[in-house]
């Protein structure tokens, strides 16, 4: 695993108690020696300050941090100011995203797509930042077609992205097929697999409906059959996701990006299985 690009994602806590809890979680997860921690960013800039505060905390602890930067509703001036804040804080890696459009929200702002944001970051800051972008092995829920989605991904890479992190998925074939398609059109950046530990059935269903991630029918039925038995859900989920990770790494995935949900235990349990 040491040769792979292994990273962990947090979301910015909303309260001082949450921030303290996240420090404890991060301290535990830093023992796994991830390459970096990423910190998500709310639509419309709602958690911009929270993202920066969390990133500063991580950097102060001697770890590498990659803030997410969403361009929805942003102007060139506002994004320029955020980039200056990131540089001043010592950030050298960014996850550049279009971001989710809030309901009833038109495509306002000066950036419509993530490739425009990547292009702007490069024009403003040269090679200062290592830029990661999003990839969708099971196709972006708003894409007109798989071909359109592949072209959208290609535009982000051509605009200057260094690497990509996928939306989470539970079907390894979808990932391998996507990587193969990108290579066929001459896109060869590392595409790191996004991994969501399974710990809570209803939460997983809700997230997956929102982001278009498919839960295989046999996994869904098995999880549903456990009812409120959270120990069984976690044990089964750990088996499913461990075998997914093993298959991805054996098949040549350059790394794994764990969606931690600000908890240490699920990612740690997976990691311990994978390094055995």
Q: State the virtual CA torsion across 239, 244, 245, 246 in degrees, nearest 10.
A: 90
Among candidate residues 54, 72, 73, the one with its CA nearest the CA of residue 9: 54
30 close to 61: Cβ distance less than 8 angstroms: yes
Among candidate residues 9, 63, 64, 119, the one labeled active-site is: 9
In the residue annotation, 138 being an active-site residue is answered as no
DSSP classification of residue 72? T
Q: Residue 194: enclosing H or E segment and its boundaries?
A: strand 191-195
- Distance between CA atoms of residues 110 and 209, nearest Å: 29
Half-sphere exposure of 134 (CA within 13 A, CB side): 22
Residue 115's contacts (CB-CB under 8 Å, 6 or more residues apart) are 152, 155, 156, 158, 159
Q: Which position has the token pair 């072209």?
A: 151
- The gap between the terminal CA atoms of the chain, to the nearest Å, is 10
Q: Which position has the token pair 């403003």?
A: 124
Q: Which residues are catalytic?
A: 9
């Amino acid at each position: 695993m040491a040769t792979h690009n292994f990273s962990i994602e947090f979301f910015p806590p909303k309260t001082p108690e949450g921030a303290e809890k996240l420090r404890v979680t991060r301290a535990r997860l830093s023992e796994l020696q991830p390459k970096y921690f990423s910190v998500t960013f709310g639509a419309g800039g709602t958690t911009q300050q929270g993202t920066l505060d969390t990133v500063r905390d991580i950097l102060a602890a001697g770890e590498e941090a990659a803030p997410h930067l969403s361009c929805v509703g942003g102007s060139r001036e506002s994004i320029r100011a955020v980039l200056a804040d990131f540089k001043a804080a010592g950030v050298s890696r960014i996850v550049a995203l279009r971001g989710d459009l809030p309901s009833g929200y038109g495509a306002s702002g000066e950036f419509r797509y993530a490739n425009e944001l990547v292009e702007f970051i490069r024009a403003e800051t040269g090679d200062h930042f290592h830029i990661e972008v999003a990839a969708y092995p099971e196709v972006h829920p708003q894409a007109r077609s798989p071909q359109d989605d592949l072209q959208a991904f290609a535009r982000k890479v051509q605009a200057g992205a260094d690497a990509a992190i996928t939306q989470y998925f539970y079907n390894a074939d979808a990932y391998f097929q996507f990587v193969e398609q990108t290579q066929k059109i001459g896109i060869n950046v590392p595409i790191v697999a996004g991994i969501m530990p399974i710990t809570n059935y209803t939460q997983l269903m809700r997230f997956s409906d929102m982001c278009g991630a498919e839960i295989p029918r046999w996994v869904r039925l098995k999880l549903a059959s456990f009812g409120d038995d959270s120990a069984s859900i976690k044990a089964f989920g750990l088996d499913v996701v461990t075998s997914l990770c093993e298959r991805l790494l054996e098949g040549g995935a350059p790394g794994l990006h764990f969606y931690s949900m600000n908890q240490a235990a699920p990612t740690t349990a997976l990691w311990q299985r994978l390094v055995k």
